[in-house]
Structure 1
């Protein structure tokens, strides 16, 4: 007797760890792309570094309190970003301030982790990512965060762009640059929280900057640059994962290496085109 065929469950494909990793990498790329453009335009790489390093302290606190790692990383990353933003507006030297806070936050986070008792923690996975261990629940968090960041950037795109290009012009158009800075701060904290599982605290800024810098070489408008950054980030995620799978290399660093290679290719292509 022939048994009737049951329709395949579309969620079954997410039982494959590599498929989950691919979707996680693409989700992070989509979240980081538009924000990465503003990080490049505003030269805020160190700002992102301080926020990402602070997330390790958030991970330690969340495990100690028994709350979601995402919630802990988001809370501490947001607190760090707001602290840096507010202190820089009060006349503190930005470079020095970011250097102190970035390394201090990472050091305090690592020390806090050492005090955790009865908790198994793979610290390397939070420093360099563990994308192959992403669960279905992690995927939901990553894509929800990516959707929120993309929506936020699309909603405030023109205001953010104007305040980035010229603060005086922003004031003249009724735009408050400080408010736009706070929106960027919130978006950055969300990206850090969703990306820490994928590429780790030490490589998050690379995924923000490298695809955006590569897209900048060939883009003719800010919007094209944002779309190009998303495409390069997604390509780096897929290529890095494939390289990691076949070469047995760490997934997070492999993704960043592919992104760096794409940056070189785009830069050379732009120079050839200009000649």
Structure 2
């Protein structure tokens, strides 16, 4: 793991885990799994628009991801049936992005790397962008941590405390769009939601408070990145899916540990 490209891959994955861990906790608490999925799927459309209009790739992805997230948030506020709406928007955005890429003249794009990620191809410039994005997300969540927790627990309680739940949803929307933009090259559009949800869900099995769960999600996400890279190197498997496989294994392990602890406590 000391080669330059492997070190860049590890650093990039750890930075994404640092931002995705606490954000994923809110995704789990608010039951926003489909919300993250729809935002991630829209990233492929962002790739197509960025290539078509010669924009910075990260900027194109973030703009489209942000537009999708804000659209979903607005529809949720109007009482739309979210499961159906998110299913329609997520798959429509992904399909439109794939079709749009095929219409770009003279552009040859390896869509597999955008769908499943290519963490081993992360450059030093990519590392800078990922560091900025992860830092922005962490700063945003640290600034709004208590209001976000209150609005997640109860919107009525948030109103009583003078907190606007719509504003807190917007904070999560922006943070989610940033994480999707910087994560696309690492785990791909189809696996971003898994990196948001699985480490957080695994941490919830053992954590006793929100802060502990957020720190646990960061640790498990970082361990997933390290273990996934090791698996990819040892077995010559795709790096992005390997990271998610390790995360799934950690979720299974923490679930079994929780069951064992519950059985012991009832004796």
TM range, smaller chain: over 0.9
What SS does the corresponding residue of 1:198 show, helix, strand or coil?
A: helix
User: Which deviates more from structure 2 when the two are superposed, residues 193-202 or residues 94-103?
Assistant: 94-103
Cα distance, 1:90 vs. partner?
Answer: 1.4
Q: Distance in 1 between matches of 2:89 and 2:185?
A: 22
> Once the two structures are superposed, what CA deviation does each residue of 1:50-94 show, in whole Å capped at 9, x if it has no partner?
000000000010011111110000000000000111112112211
Cα distance, 1:272 vs. partner?
Answer: 0.9
> Once the two structures are superposed, what CA deviation does each residue of 1:234-258 show, in whole Å capped at 9, x if it has no partner?
0000100011011100000000000
Aligned to 2:37: 49
Cα distance, 1:15 vs. partner?
Answer: 7.3
The structure 1 segments of at least 4 consecutive aligned residues displaced by more than 6 Å after TM superposition are none
Structure 2 alignment gaps of length 5 or more: none
Q: Distance in 2 between matches of 1:161 and 1:152?
A: 13
Structure 1 alignment gaps of length 5 or more: 1-12
Rate the CA distance shift 1:122–1:14 in 2: closer, same or farther, 3 A.
Answer: farther
Q: Distance in 2 between matches of 1:250 and 1:266?
A: 25
Q: Distance in 1 between matches of 2:98 and 2:82?
A: 24
Aligned to 1:200: 188
Aligned length: 263
Cα distance, 1:120 vs. partner?
Answer: 2.3
Q: Distance in 2 between matches of 1:136 and 1:219?
A: 35
- State the TM-score, normalizing by the size of structure 2: 0.97
- State the TM-score, normalizing by the size of structure 1: 0.94
Aligned to 1:4: none
Cα distance, 1:113 vs. partner?
Answer: 0.7
User: Which deviates more from structure 2 when the two are superposed, residues 185-194 or residues 87-96?
Assistant: 87-96
Q: CA RMSD in A?
A: 1.1
Aligned to 1:156: 144
Aligned to 2:46: 58
